[in-house]
Chains A and B, each alone.
Chain A
Amino acid sequence: MATNPSDAADFARRGIRSTVALAGWTAAWLATLALAAFGPGQLWEDSPALTAGAIGVNVLVGIGMLLANKRSLEAMDELQRATQLQVMAWTLGAGLVGGLAATLLARHGLIGLEVGVAQLVAFMGVVYLAGTFIGHLRYR
Chain B
Amino acid sequence: MRNRLKVLRAERDWTQADLARVLEVSRQTVNAIETGKYDPSLPLAFRLARVFGRRIEEIFDDEPL
Binding site for B on A (CB under 8 A): 1-2, 5, 7-12, 15, 77-80, 82, 136, 138-140
Cα(A40)–Cα(B40), bound, Å: 52
Cα(A10)–Cα(B31), bound, Å: 20
> Which residue on A lies nearest to B46, using beta carbons?
A1
| B25 and A11 contacting across the interface, CB-CB below 8 Å | yes
Q: How many residues in B have their beta carbons less than 8 Å from beta carbons of A?
A: 18
| B29 and A78 contacting across the interface, CB-CB below 8 Å | yes
| A80 and B23 contacting across the interface, CB-CB below 8 Å | no
Binding site for A on B (CB under 8 A): 21-26, 28-29, 31-32, 37-38, 40-41, 44, 47, 50-51
| A1 and B51 contacting across the interface, CB-CB below 8 Å | yes
Cα(A15)–Cα(B51), bound, Å: 22
Cα(A136)–Cα(B26), bound, Å: 12
| B29 and A2 contacting across the interface, CB-CB below 8 Å | no
| A139 and B25 contacting across the interface, CB-CB below 8 Å | no
Residues of chain B contacted by A78 (CB below 8 angstroms): 25, 29, 40-41, 44
Cα(A78)–Cα(B40), bound, Å: 8
